[in-house]
Every structure is written in structure tokens, then in C-alpha cells.
Structure 1
Amino acid sequence: MIQQIYPQVQHDYQFELNKDMHISAAHYIPHEDAGKCQKVHGHTYFVNVTIAGDELDDSGFLVNFASLKKLIHNRFDHSILNDHSDLFSEVDPNYFPTTEGVARAIWELVQSDLDTKDNKPKCVQVFVRETPTSYVVFRPKKKEGQE
């Protein structure tokens, strides 16, 4: 069983769903300042996705847990993150496969999927732990005019 304490995000939605998973993946950071991390190496990432909303779907779910695992775990587990060129870049530092970039990419994938759902849940936080002592939290900025 995964037991993890992670930062909480404040929101006004009635429901909050959290899905935890482990992803084993390799990556490298294509920048000279990355030091040893310029070389291909791997991590067992711990990922937590927080989704919130007010309405349940026709199945009584905010989001089906299995669909989140399929969307994230099946895509990234046992892969080289740099090979996901639709999400990561070799030249744009905002899209390097750093822990920050991984958290952002997961949020983009999840929110894009959620936008297709009739009950319109929102991904309010993605937590990615790369090592036992290092993690990143990604929270989307609210757009102007958004609650």
C-alpha cells in the first residue's frame, strides 16, 4: 500500500479524488548545468493526481480511477521520458523532462482528458516525487475570469 503525505490544494468543489501511482522511467536533462543528470538514468516516480468537481458522471464517479491509471501509468511506465516528444523538448527548457516538466506534462494529459467529460472535473494538483527527498507540486494558474 502506498502511504504518502502530500500538500493539499484549497478549492471549493464538493468532491476531491486522489489517485496515487508509481512510474518507473528513465530520462536525461539536455543541459550542461544538469551535471550527472545529463546522462540517461532512471527513477521510480511517485505520482499523485488530485481531481475536483461538483458533479458525478453517469457511473457515479467523479473520474474512474482505472482511466487515470491507463492515461498516465500505461503511457510513462518503463519508458524513456525524452522519447515522448509530444510532451518534452530537447531545446526548450520549459519542456525538459525534469520533475517540474513531468508534473506539468501529466497535468496537461489529465486535464485534456477531463475536458471531454460531461461532468467537467478539474485537475487541481499533480504531485511528483522523483527521489525520497525531492518532489514537485504543479498547480495550474487560474485564468482571468475563472473562479
Structure 2
Amino acid sequence: MFQQHYPSITHPYQFELNKDFNFSAAHYIPNEDAGKCMRTHGHTYFVNLTIAGDTLDHNGFLANFSELKKLVHGQFDHYLLNDLPQFENKIPSTELVAQTIYEMIQQDLDQRPNKPQCLQVYLRETPTSYVIYRPKEHNNE
């Protein structure tokens, strides 16, 4: 993976971790005004998660890097996103994939005793196109 600099978010937490990984998946946007994206096509998505908090777990981690990757990679890698239950009533645009990744990660983090927060999901779809999803409750901190 190439070295990347991501937009940072201001927050009040003492610790911040960032995890990079990728997954390959296909999707289509089922609307005529989506142009070429109406046809099934694939991407190698590059993901960066920004996780923050004040309390570390018993290992001295906010969250285990490999567990964060497994949560997303295991659900999305080498799938047609339109067929997944996470997108049953949603179109898997890059924006909604980023939001879904946030929801998956935060749901897992909420189960941890140290309660870290996912502040940002950066999702690159192509070398020239990416989306950043930030939950509203963290936008102004």
C-alpha cells in the first residue's frame, strides 16, 4: 500500500489510531442517470479508519489493528456489494459504503469496555476519487 496522508479531524481525545487496508469488490448503481456506473464493475477500495479515545484496553490498545481490518475485509472482500444484506435497501455508492463501514466499526467499538470512537472513514474507490464519512456527532468537536 502506498504512503497516504489523510485529512485529519480535530478531537479532544488523547489517543488516535489510523488503520489502512484494502478490499476488492464489485457494485453497480441501478439508475440510468448513473452513467457507466449502472453496469456491474469492480474496484480495489482503499480504507483508512480513524479511531480515538482516552482509555486503552488491557493490551494497551484503543483497538487491535487486525480486528478492525477483519470486520470489514471479511464482510466485503470479493463480493458484489449489491447482494449483501448491509445494502438490502440501499444503493452501494461509495458514500453509503463508507457510512456502512463506519456503522459496522462503531457497533463493534461500542461493545468494548474502553469505548473508543470511530471518527472518520476514508474510502478511496479509484486513484482520483474518494469519500470521507464522519458521523455528525464528531464533526464539531
Normalising to structure 2: TM-score of the pair? 0.94
For residue 2 of structure 1, report the CA deviation from its aligned partner.
Answer: 3.1
Alignment pair present for 1:37 and 2:45: no
For residue 54 of structure 1, report the CA deviation from its aligned partner.
Answer: 0.2
Task: Measure, in 1, the Cα distance between the counterparts of 2:2 and 2:82.
Answer: 27
Alignment pair present for 1:60 and 2:60: yes
Q: Deviations over 1:107-134 (max 9, x none)?
A: 0000000000000000000000101111
Aligned residues: 140
Task: Measure, in 2, the Cα distance between the counterparts of 1:27 and 1:35.
Answer: 13
- Note the residue ranges of structure 1 that are not aligned, 5 or more in a row: none
Going by fraction, where is helix more abundant, 1 or 2? 2
The 5-angstrom pairing of residues 1-147 of structure 1 reads 1-85=1-85, 87-89=86-88, 95-142=90-137
For residue 79 of structure 1, report the CA deviation from its aligned partner.
Answer: 0.9
Task: Measure, in 2, the Cα distance between the counterparts of 1:30 and 1:5.
Answer: 33
For residue 89 of structure 1, report the CA deviation from its aligned partner.
Answer: 3.8
Task: Measure, in 2, the Cα distance between the counterparts of 1:78 and 1:96.
Answer: 18
Kindly indicate whether the alpha-carbon contact (under 8 Å) linking 1:57 and 1:119 is maintained by their aligned counterparts in 2.
Answer: yes
For residue 82 of structure 1, report the CA deviation from its aligned partner.
Answer: 0.8
Normalising to structure 1: TM-score of the pair? 0.90
Kindly indicate whether the alpha-carbon contact (under 8 Å) linking 1:27 and 1:41 is maintained by their aligned counterparts in 2.
Answer: yes
Across the aligned residues of Structure 1 and Structure 2, the Cα RMSD in angstroms comes to 1.6
% identity of equivalent residues: 63
Q: Give the counterpart letter for 1:99 in structure 2.
A: T
- Note the residue ranges of structure 2 that are not aligned, 5 or more in a row: none
For residue 32 of structure 1, report the CA deviation from its aligned partner.
Answer: 1.5
Kindly indicate whether the alpha-carbon contact (under 8 Å) linking 1:2 and 1:20 is maintained by their aligned counterparts in 2.
Answer: no
Task: Measure, in 2, the Cα distance between the counterparts of 1:84 and 1:112.
Answer: 18
Task: Measure, in 2, the Cα distance between the counterparts of 1:89 and 1:35.
Answer: 22
